[in-house]
Amino acid sequence: MVCGAETSLKPCGDVIVHTVCAHNCGGRARLACTVRKGKLVRVAAAPAPDEAYTGLCVRCLTLPQWVYSKERLLTPLRRTGPRGSGQFEPVDWDSALDEIAERLNELVSAHGTQSIAFARSTSGSPYHAFGRLSALLGGGGSLNCYGGIDMAVHMGLNSTFGYKGMYAQHANEWTDRLNSRLTIVWGHNPAETSMTAVRHLLNARDGGCRVVVIDPRYSATAMHANWWVAPRPGSDLPLALGILHVLLRDGMIDRDFLLKHSCAPYLVRLDDGQYFRGLPCADGKREFQLWDEQDQGPVAISEATRPALEGRYLIGDVAVATAFTLLQDMARDYPPDRVAALTDVSASDIVELAHCYWEAGPVQIGVGYGVDRYKHGELFTRAVAAIAIVTGNIGKPGAGVGVQSHHQGFHEASLGPEPDLPPWAHTISTPIIEVGRKDLPIRAVFSQGDWINQRSGDMNATLDFFKSLDFIVTVDHFHQLTTQWSDIVLPASTFLEATAPTRDAVVFGNSVYLRQKVIDPVGNSRPDFDIERALAERLGLAEWYCETSEDLTRHVVDGASHSAFKHVTYDRLMEAGGALRLDVPTTPNIQYENLRFETKTGRAEFYLEELAAVGEALPVFEPDHEALPTHPLAKRYPLVLIQSHVRQRAHSTFFNTKWTLEIWPEPILELNPDDARDRRLLTGELAEAFNDRGRVVARVVCNPDFPPGMCNISEGWKQNQYVAGNVQELTNSEINDAQTAVWGHANIPFFDTRVDVRAVAREGSEA
């Protein structure tokens, strides 16, 4: 078959259309979709421009069932019963859109544009976010609910290496794993969640790279590893600090890298924790200072002859020390014996991990989002970044640290910007974690996807917030929990049913792809952009929606200024069938190969002066995780509840496909057999997981892959699939003040959740 997105006729009359998956697993598989008499009947892998990235996962195989699901929204709906009752009547598009525009105008007139909040979930339409409408609304812009999911690991990496986007701190390209002698897969299970990526890991292992998986549970990836390390849930940070301790204690450091490319030699004031800056220069700026061992005094970086890596000094009446000295001091607090007690990983294994890391050669640490969902996930990635920095495992083949689940470690090439909006158009960012927990002016929510079920911890607090609102609109593909609580529901077409502006073009790996329409919209659904345009017209904003979808996609492709797009244009993409290799080297992309970092020092910074006031300038262990056994709730609720990702879903997407439900038809509560025995529970019995926030009832499965003290209900089940309650009633939504101080929002600590479990006599009633 020719590589391309053009259609081709088969002998039986079937049409094959090539497109690219839109869902949030990071694989971005290129798909060959078989259409028969206008209906999608089969999905298979289509050739990618680079054969190394041809492939797809089990989820894509179920797309025909997903797009024609019985939960599919087929027409606009208006609420008729009490909010939350799920009682609706069908209405025509004009009536629904007119009512929405009227209600939004009324609220803006009475309460201002900040009374309207736009929010979205990854289970919503995957390629358009109503961002233009939210910025233009009312001539002043509305609230944009953002953040909260899978961001802590990026916060830590961005803090250390410089901001690259909240989801853009990745490890080296997947194919670079063959260059590693040791790969640490930390809090990541690509065998289930990144199935198009795991083969590169297995190829590396078979080529002689040692694979270490660090995960409390024995995952599908751990079974393929050379070494599985199982820390206690929530103790990844002290484990990383224990490794760092051994590296520094035993002199396993790259001194040259530390001096030239990190903040290690920078002097830090001991009184306020800020970097020491000398007298103002001619331009009025004050330069960072190092201690010059030849001159025996502080000098600017540009003047240093022999900078000191370690030391404490007195400059006038100001006591200072190098950042590396402070890192050493901090790491001394985490010797192997102490870390063993905190993590349940033996002291000898901690020492061996550190020595393996140093001695192997180029080493990669690839993190996933399993370590993200604890309160201090950003401190963890800052700690593993410090491990890579002190050993010089940055910016070279086979070495690095970063998120290793998405985008294949893409080259630094991005599409062009979207068309300009007027200067007055903007949105006001509002952290998701604060919605329903802080006093906000929101009176209406315009939601995409199942926001309640997927984007908030402590769901009952979110429902209380929804009950207080004047108006709720949801745009979605399916009937879900958020649609149940809405006043107007609009049926959106999926990525298979429409071309979409701007996000219809995607860059990942070493190629650029166009996402093509495969079938006509199902039922009376409409593409997101058409919905947004129709609302804009009713709100007096039609002048900002003059382009077609093709115009907007052409704009971002042809407007890409990066050299990788030298020979890439929209027309050439179309001629090539929707997929072209970028003008990038044939060798794998190496993050930070030029050793330039977009930080204030231009170096990798394991020391953050911005957090000195809260005691987190270095990635210290904060023992206030709810998941830790020392937490006050531990005696009352002895089990840590996580929500693992599984091969059947991408977050909650594909919750309703028939084939996967035949294999796994309902939510299950997985317990270690010892914990189940203590509670007199057997596989197949109903049990209730509960805490002070809420409850959920599900069927028990005894699973020794989970350690004692840990239980699991996999992510992405919907409200109507539980016997009673919802796992999100239980989850923690504590706000991390340090994250908020630096980034303006905090990550939701979903896994920092303690529960207990008890038997249920029959469905819906306690024993």
Q: What are the pLDDT digits (tens) for 172-212?
A: 988 999 999 999 999 999 999 888 889 999 999 999 999 99
Q: What is the mean pLDDT of the chain?
A: 91
Nearest residue to 603 (alpha-carbon basis) of 340, 299, 266: 266
Which of 62-71, 425-434, 625-634 is predicted least confidently?
Answer: 425-434
One domain for residues 388 and 502: no
**pLDDT reported for residue 250:** 98
One domain for residues 217 and 353: yes
One domain for residues 60 and 116: no
| CA gap 265, 6 in Å, rounded | 57
**pLDDT reported for residue 4:** 39
Which residues make beta-bridge pairs with 401? Answer: 365
Q: Where are the beta strands (DSSP E) in 661-709?
A: 668-671, 686-690, 695-702
Domain presence at residue 420: no
Q: Which domain CATH number covers 733?
A: 2.40.40.20
Render pLDDT for 315-373 as a digit per residue (tens, 0 to 9): 999 999 999 999 999 999 999 999 999 999 999 999 999 999 999 989 999 999 999 99
One domain for residues 370 and 256: yes
What mean pLDDT is predicted for residues 411-421?
81
Domain presence at residue 20: yes
Domain presence at residue 149: no
Q: Evaluate if residue 668 carries a pLDDT over 70.
A: yes
Q: Are 641 and 693 in contact (CB under 8 A)?
A: no
Q: Are 495 and 22 in contact (CB under 8 A)?
A: yes
Nearest residue to 142 (alpha-carbon basis) of 452, 549, 534, 426: 426
What mean pLDDT is predicted for residues 251-256?
98
Which of 133-147, 269-283, 306-320, 529-543 is predicted least confidently?
Answer: 269-283
One domain for residues 49 and 78: no
Q: Evaluate if residue 43 carries a pLDDT over 90.
A: yes
Q: What pTM did the predictor assign?
A: 0.94
**pLDDT reported for residue 241:** 98
Higher pLDDT, 677 or 58: 677
| CA gap 10, 36 in Å, rounded | 10
Q: Which tokens go with 607?
A: 């020391």
Q: Which domain holds residue 106?
A: 71-142+445-492
One domain for residues 573 and 482: no
Q: Which domain CATH number covers 355?
A: 3.40.228.10
Domain presence at residue 339: yes
The proportion of the chain whose per-residue pLDDT surpasses 70, expressed as a percent, equals 94
Q: Which tokens go with 698?
A: 């599900």
- Neighbouring residues of 619: CB distance < 8 A, sequence distance ≥ 6: 156, 237, 240, 241, 379, 380, 382, 383, 386, 606
Domain presence at residue 625: no
**pLDDT reported for residue 125:** 55
**pLDDT reported for residue 549:** 81
pLDDT tier at 286, thresholds 50, 70, 90? confident
Q: Evaluate if residue 25 carries a pLDDT over 90.
A: no
**pLDDT reported for residue 139:** 83
pLDDT tier at 11, thresholds 50, 70, 90? low
One domain for residues 302 and 384: yes
pLDDT tier at 7, thresholds 50, 70, 90? very low
Helices (H), 332-397: 336-343, 347-359, 377-391
Render pLDDT for 74-129 as a digit per residue (tens, 0 to 9): 999 999 999 999 999 999 999 999 999 999 999 999 999 999 999 987 655 554 56
One domain for residues 247 and 269: yes
- Neighbouring residues of 557: CB distance < 8 A, sequence distance ≥ 6: 415, 416, 505, 512, 565, 568, 569, 570, 573
Number of domains present in the structure of the chain: 4
One domain for residues 269 and 399: yes
One domain for residues 131 and 275: no
| CA gap 655, 666 in Å, rounded | 10
Q: Are 171 and 456 in contact (CB under 8 A)?
A: no
One domain for residues 566 and 661: no
- Neighbouring residues of 214: CB distance < 8 A, sequence distance ≥ 6: 184, 185, 186, 187, 229, 230, 231, 236, 239
**pLDDT reported for residue 551:** 86
Q: Which domain CATH number covers 29?
A: 3.30.200.210
pLDDT tier at 262, thresholds 50, 70, 90? very high
Q: Which domain CATH number covers 128?
A: 3.40.50.740
Higher pLDDT, 119 or 214: 214
Q: What is the dihedral of CA 238, 239, 245, 246, to 10 degrees?
A: 160
Q: Evaluate if residue 5 carries a pLDDT over 50.
A: no
